[in-house]
Amino acid sequence: MITRLRATAIGAPERAAPALEGPLADAVSRLPHRTQTATSGPWPVWVDRERAAVGAWYELFPRSYGGLTGAAHHLPYVRGLGFDVVYLPPIHPIGVTARKGRGNTLVAGPGDPGSPWAIGSAAGGHEAVDPALGTLDDFAAFLRQARRLGLEVALDFALQCSPDHPWVTAHPEWFSHRPDGSIRFAENPPKQYQDIYPINFFPDREEDRVALWTACLDLLELWIGRGVRIFRVDNPHTKPFELWAFLIDELRRRHPDVVLLAEAFTRPATMHRLAEIGFSQGYTYFTWRNTKGELVSYGDELAHGPDSDYFRPNLWPNTPDILSGPLRDGPPAAFKQRAVLAATLGPSWGIYSGYELCENDPASAANEEYAYSEKYEIKHRDFGDPRSIGGFLAQLNDIRRRHPALADLHSLRFHDTTSDSLIAYSKQVGADTVLVVVSIDPFAVAEGSVWIDLGALGLPWDEPLDARDELTGERFGWRGPQAYLRLDPDRPAHVVHLQALPAPGVP
């Protein structure tokens, strides 16, 4: 009976039939009649568009391509890697006061461009484009090129200001002041941002709060009017929940197709609270989950935990702020392994530009940021480098598109392996079953047996299965729940499409 209940390939009534036979039938007959049940009132349901749950993101800094026009020329490359969303850090004017220099130094040199998150200068604030990047017309052309290629553009929404932002002079009441009257700069311990003023979202007077929150909504409306439908929200956990509830309620009412990604590397309860308020998806702890136990535990939490119904994860192996785990001084195999995990464990994943070139230099042994961070300098990359793993990433994104199972989160099921260097899991939607086995040791051969719960997948235990490795195109027979696997750094994973063979005589 258990095998039949688990056979997801057949309809629910047929699966449940054994439970309504024999001794269980009497128990079922004693369940309350409909006249004895109670009903609740209607509950509102919000349905997002697909991009809120599924997508592949690529982050790039336009200034490293000569501005928005140069970045537009780079978009065919991004699309060629199979990504759906190109995400831009803030494209607004950058402040001069307390501008950070190369390597996050406190004194900027004459050619240092500053951090894009230090928003605002004499050239304007959040409503403007940094003149070093181009004009609003150049941004419009960037959007048109993205649309032609089938890419969506995500823009950073960072509610903070440089000391030179027009709001600092026009609305000093919107900022937090020290006892001596000076404005307090931003801190996110242990990090300090002397070039950024945080906004005080609860100024003393109610009319000032209303004006400030309305101004924040107006900024979103402005960029939505210019064609942006996806926003990556910077540090939303450092702003009031009430602000996001107000903004998201208004956005849903006016622009139901807008997608919001919460960049909130903070306590789980806070991350999940932002999702509960209405953020479409959120960054996760994936970047810091590296061992087999950590990955299995966290994957189960994301797919089946108490908040999995509304917390949609977006898995990023790296960001401009984060170079951690096996990527630090890691070989290309580490970058391939982490890409497979991110691209197949979750429906949404993303990388920061340079990942495909296996950029692996940490700022220091204790600092998880990059040496020569693009946040503070312009980087020039050779994307034609033959050592690039760009082709591998394009394969992963192509596999994701062809298999609806990989767009699903809740069917994630981990399977046993005899090696701590091998992690195995499957996903299934209808007849589409994908088995992934990944080595998590980038330096050595990983080998061992994997045990697949075929009954749980609705696949026969004792009949041959058709198995195709989507990474290599290799096709082979699979029979029974156990298989021996061997992966080496040059071949770090199997992504296998499993299906029952047709009955004899059936084409």
Question: How many Cα atoms within 13 Å fall on the side-chain side of residue 277?
Answer: 26
Helices (H), 226-331: 241-254, 268-277, 292-304
Structure tokens at 375: 């946040």
- Neighbour tally for 18: CB within 10 Å: 14
Q: How far apart are CA 445 and CA 309, in angstroms?
A: 38
Q: How far apart are CA 161 and CA 156, in angstroms?
A: 14
3-state secondary structure string across 352-363: ECCHHHCCCCEC
Ramachandran angles phi, psi of 474, nearest 5°? -70, 135
Pairing relation of β-strands 348-352 and 313-315?
A: parallel
Q: Which residues are catalytic?
A: 234, 263
Q: What is the dihedral of CA 395, 396, 402, 403, to 10 degrees?
A: 150
Residues shown for the chain = 507
User: For 328-346, b where at least 16 C-beta lie within 10 A, e where not — what string?
Assistant: eebebbbbbbbbbbbbbbb
